[in-house]
Copies of this chain bind each other. A is one copy, B any other.
Amino acid sequence: MRRLTSVFGGAAEPSKGGNPDSNTLISDMTTVKAIKEGIAVEKPIYNHVTGLLDPPELIKPPKIFVIEGLHPLYDARVRDLLDFSIYLDISNEVKFAWKIQNNKLMLYNCLMEMKRDMAERGHSLESIKANPQKQYADTVIEVLPTQLIPDDNEGKYLRVRLIMKEGVKYFNPVYLFDEGSTISWIPCGRKLTCSYPGIKFTYGPDTYYGHEVSVLEMDGQFDRLDELIYVESHLSNISTKFYGEITQQMLKHADFPGSNNGTGLFQTIVGLKIRDLYEQLTASKTAAPLEATKA
């Protein structure tokens, strides 16, 4: 039975989850290792409401094993078991704007929560900050305020960056026009007209925590179908199986938040990349079934 181990990092918010203590980490590592080896695992489930452990749940090895949480990249032993890792990094400005948008009253809660973090969880926060998990991710999706509107703090328009590590086996970073060069592109012009404030893409090589990466950035949002398909047609290495697959995927989930901006576009692209990775990985296992999973 073939399978792919994958992880979804989630926004690092130590304030929301528990401490990455050693017991939890060992338990995580053992679970991931067993499942990757094709063994079903009975895993105790932490109950966020009672703060206690619920009765264990049987986890059967799936084809694609996704781990989502706050600290999955914290421990090197877990990291080494992952075939691909993604970290969603939402900037404080955007988190704050989103909370305000949801409910003005949440501003109070948010401030209280921040205060509690500083007072009660200072140590945990510091230990996480000293070991930022995002440096280990193969891909980071960074969500930032727009730069298309000066001093915008509404959080309506987003600038989203897809940071892709170079040299990851079975993962070829997406690029715009010319691989490895530095490009900025405003597609709105003679052939494509866009509504205010438009769309701007940036692409180029960079470094991220000392690693060589390629960064694709989208600022602004899609307002019409032709904008989306136009952009898709100019991206390369997107691992689609037919022309317009990204557009089709995004239209299928048009009601999801972020489906008209970089968060939706890059999550869709990462989804296609995982499928591609899965197919290459399983093909290589078929070719050499006794080889180790991790290159």
Chain A positions near chain B (C-beta within 8 angstroms): 177-192, 204-205, 234
Contact = CB atoms under 8 A, between A and B. Distances in A.
Contacts of A179: 190-191
A181 B177 contact: no
A178 B192 CA distance: 11
Q: Which secondary structure characterizes the binding site on chain A?
A: loop
Lowest 8 A-B CB distances belong to which pairs? A180-B190, A182-B186, A181-B189, A180-B191, A177-B177, A184-B184, A180-B189, A181-B187
A178 B191 CA distance: 9
A173 to B, nearest CB: 11
A282 B16 CA distance: 75
B183 A184 contact: yes
A188 B181 contact: yes
A253 B186 CA distance: 36
A195 to B, nearest CB: 16
B182 A185 contact: yes
In this complex, which of A177, A180, A183, A234 has the most chain B Cβ atoms within 10 angstroms of its Cβ?
Answer: A183
Copies of the polypeptide in the assembly: 2
Contacts of A188: 181
18 contacts: A177-B185, A177-B234, A178-B185, A178-B234, A179-B191, A180-B189, A180-B190, A180-B191, A181-B185, A181-B186, A181-B187, A181-B190, A181-B191, A182-B185, A182-B186, A183-B185, A186-B204, A189-B205
A188 to B, nearest CB: 7
Nearest to A187: B181
Contacts of A183: 177, 183-186
A204 B192 CA distance: 13
A121 to B, nearest CB: 42
A145 B190 CA distance: 29
Nearest to A200: B182
A174 to B, nearest CB: 14
A185 B179 CA distance: 11
A230 B14 CA distance: 48
Contacts of A187: 178, 181
Contacts of A189: 180-182, 204-205
Nearest to A234: B178
A14 to B, nearest CB: 36
Contacts of A181: 185-192
Nearest to A192: B181
A23 to B, nearest CB: 44
Contacts of A234: 177-178
Nearest to A177: B177
